[in-house]
Amino acid sequence: MTAAELAVENVTLTAGAYRLVREVSLTARPGEVVGLVGPNGSGKSSLLRAVYRVLRPDSGRVRVDGADAWSLPVRRLARTLASVVQEPGADFDLTVREVVAMGRTPHKRLFDGDTAEDARIIDTALASVDATQLTTRSFDRLSGGERQRVLIARALAQQPGLLVLDEPTNHLDIRHQLEVLGVLRRLPATVLVALHDLNLAAYYCDRLYVLREGEVVASGPPAAVLTPGLLAEVYGVASEVAVHPRTGAPQVTFLPGEPRESGRGGATMH
């Protein structure tokens, strides 16, 4: 796989009279892990849907390696972009291995069977998310956390240059949250991921975009973006931000009481 470049250019999304996202621009350079953070309803999921071609922008453009993502043939785009969404839809009446094998579909012609290389890629994807032991289980009988790991494995089997994930740590216990995000961090791919946990975002992401009410209000490295002043403005709560003594990443602690005003650091404000 070759890491792809993503450019979201002044994208606006609406649903009827309701504006979901307004003139949002972001970039993810090849090999970067870029995080979207913000409170519920801030537009993170809507923006991701525009990237993986579920919600067409009213205006603006999504480019993958310079090409308009919405103009590319579906099969061609699927060879470059894979997604893991919060609500995958109907249950699959398939085994776990069969679900993960679906990730190889964009790389095959009609009626092609799995090759030895396909089998190796599927095995590696399953092992990456600690799901090898689930191989023969029925997908529709898995727990929420197990399903999430299998869907991530399916995306990994697709070997995308760009991987888009909406809250991939939902339903996962702490161990599997860290393992999955560690896998994403090590991929030779570009990753755009929406996360609720700011400390995970601070540790695993190269850069963050902070959304509020459908607009980007800050972007930059986690240490520049995650300041008490910005968190008070966006989340409406008081916080303390320290540097973790072992990882060097910002560590956010939310506090009871009124938000505290503070400087925003070096974040790019919009």
Structure tokens at 140: 């529709």
Environment class of residue 64 by beta-carbon count within 10 Å: exposed (0-12), middle (13-18) or buried (19+)? buried
Mean pLDDT of the chain: 92
- Under the banding of pLDDT at 50, 70 and 90, the label for residue 261 is low
Percent residues over pLDDT 70 in the chain: 93
Please tell me the chain's helix, strand, coil percentages from 3-state DSSP, rounded to the nearest 5.
35, 30, 40
pTM for the full model?
0.93
Is 90 exceeded by the pLDDT of residue 265? no
Asked if the model's pLDDT at residue 172 lies above 80, the reply is yes
Q: Could you list the beta-strand ranges (E) of the chain.
A: 6-15, 18-28, 33-37, 59-64, 67-68, 81-84, 162-166, 190-194, 207-212, 215-220, 238-243, 250-255, 268-269
Reply yes or no on whether the pLDDT at 235 is more than 90: yes
From the CB of residue 221, how many other CB atoms can be counted at a distance below 10 Å?
A: 16
- Taking only the tens place, the pLDDT of each residue in 58-67 is 999 999 999 9
Per-residue pLDDT of 206-225, as tens digits, reads: 999 999 999 999 999 999 99
> Residue 88's pLDDT is what?
61
26: β partners: 8
36-61 tens-digit pLDDT: 999 999 999 999 999 999 999 999 99
Q: Percent of the chain at pLDDT above 90?
A: 87
Q: Give the chain's domains with CATH numbers.
A: 1-80+161-223 (3.40.50.300), 89-159 (no CATH)
**What is the predicted pLDDT for the residue at 253?**
95
